[in-house]
Structure 1
Amino acid sequence: MTMNAWPADPFASKPPKAPSRRLREPGHVPGEIGIWVFIFGDLLIFALFFGVFVYERSRNAGLFEQAREHMNLTFGAGNTFLLLTGSMFVALSLNSLRRGASGRGSRMILVTLLCGVGFVVNKALEYSSEIQAGHTPSTNSFYMYYFVFTGIHLLHLLLGMVALVIMYLIARKPSLTRRDLRNLEAGASYWHLIDLLWIVLFALLYLMR
């Protein structure tokens, strides 16, 4: 008759878990070089737009200030909150996905997508409010810049939402490759660009005196 082995000591220290393999290496630049070329190019174009706006405002300070006073700060602040929240969650999602938590990471991408939907709805309501008040691109220079700049930004955001859908599909994969991670980082970097551009627009259109 064979004797059963003694049970393992429940108080014995357990061997440390092997560290999870991370897909990001030290010194890693997020995304692909192409997305950064696009981001810096886009920033230069918007910097030109913003410079033109500031110059025109200096020439027509009274008109621009009167128009700014009619802007609905609640809409602007609400959209700022939505984009900042979305950027926070897309950053948290990347951290989760790098650690293999695909479920948590993909859900956070969905939260960012919902923030984008909220921005679109809020902007549609704001456009409707301004038009009902008689403010259109032909009203004066301020509203011309307002509709053009925010319209271009809205187009960027819609493209960003398409990128978020692609990111969500990638995040749902059973396992991620380094290329998958680079694609996720590229999408997140583009979303942060949208956030940055809006913050500047919010300051120029709603706050600048």
Structure 2
Amino acid sequence: MRIEQGHIFRPETSNNIQYSVRLEITDSLIELEFSDDSFAPKDFGKVEIILGVFNGLGKITFLDCSLSGTATGGGANIKKYRVEYLLQGVHIYSWQELKFSKCIANIPSLFDWVNIRPITNKLWTEKKLYCEHPKEIKLASFDKFELLFSFEYHTSIEKNEIHLKQYTNLKIVAKNNFLFLNEFFEILTHFKKFMLFIINKSPISETITLFNDKYTRLSLL
């Protein structure tokens, strides 16, 4: 679970800032909680886009937000909004901006299933580790997009240790410059069903990163 503090506002009323907002992120829930004296009727429903800035995360765009709870007491009115999608790193003001050229989903279970490793361990025989980026593997090509496996590794240093982590990603590339966000989600959903029901692997993704011409990369949490 991750909890951060920050502020939020709506695209159409950017000067009306709600401060002291609590953001909770778990494996199954993204939720905003704050004290607000305004209980206008429009608040009792779905808000398509909420923008915010949070400690440790920076700029955030919340998509498909629905009021999940209210409470009154102690001189404060508490609101909770459940968030369907969270984009980190940018403020997007309309759904028309939500189009991207490619999407990379890091799904940990793909690493063992595909079994192509960027790191070759020859410490015992040669006292060496070989690190390289294998070529991408094209899985399928459709009218509007291509599916590929891509490979990478990350290194980190902690105290006197070097940690290496290998990844196999699902890469979705739009053929005609872009796909809308909901189209990427639909493709991912079908692929994850394939993983779960056909090859019996966990479809849980650690990160989903989107790319387009305007923004270098956006992380979807």
TM-score tier by shorter-chain length is under 0.3
Which one has the bigger helix percentage?
1
Which one has the bigger strand percentage?
2
Query: Between Structure 1 and Structure 2, whose CA radius of gyration is higher?
Result: 1
